[in-house]
Amino acid sequence: EIVLTQSPGTLSLSPGERATLSCRASQSLTRNYLAWYQQKPGQAPRLLIYAASSRAAGIPDRFSGSGSGTDFALTISRLEPEDFAMYYCQQYGTSPPETFGQGTKVEIK
């Protein structure tokens, strides 16, 4: 089973700042099949990024994904008030289970 480790656990930033979230896999991901999701309280998650760096439909271009192999990142170039939320990475495309990371909370400083 591939284990995903997200860091930091919590990121305290101000609106307008840049956020960089990390997701590290315990083994190299097939075809860099890594997704990022945003979740707000009481809501289902929303897909932001798939295949490490492709933005999902309707996602603002301030969200970008990067990385390959075992090290991946989600960058939010300038935080908007609505971006303060939980973020999860998920690996897929290899043998199940399609594991999630434990999450990073982006909170207002």
Partner 1 sequence: EVQLVESGGGLVKPGGSLRLSCAASGFTFSNAWMSWVRQAPGKGLEWVGRIKSKADGGTADYTASVKGRFTISRDDSKNTLYLQMNSLKAEDTAVYYCTDTAPVDYWGQGTLVTVSS
Q: Does 85 bind partner 1 (CB under 8 A)?
A: no
Q: Which residue has the tokens 């990073």?
A: 104
Dihedral, CA of residue 94, residue 19, residue 53 and residue 55, to nearest 10 = 110
Query: What are φ and ψ of residue 76, in 5° steps?
Result: -110, 115
- Distance from chain centroid for Cα 94: 18
β-bridge mates for residue 50, sequence order = 54
Binding segment (CB under 8 A) for partner 1, from list 20-28, 34-42, 59-67, 70-78: 34-42
Per CB under 8 A, does 65 bind partner 1? no
**Residue 72 is a binding residue for partner 1 (CB under 8 A):** no
Q: Taking the CB of residue 91, how many other CB atoms lie within 10 A of it?
A: 24
50 binds partner 1 (CB under 8 A): yes
Q: Which of 30, 97, 107, 109 binds partner 1 (CB under 8 A)?
A: 97
Residues near partner 1, by CB under 8 A: 1, 33, 35, 37, 39, 44-45, 47, 50-51, 56-57, 86, 88, 90, 92-93, 96-103
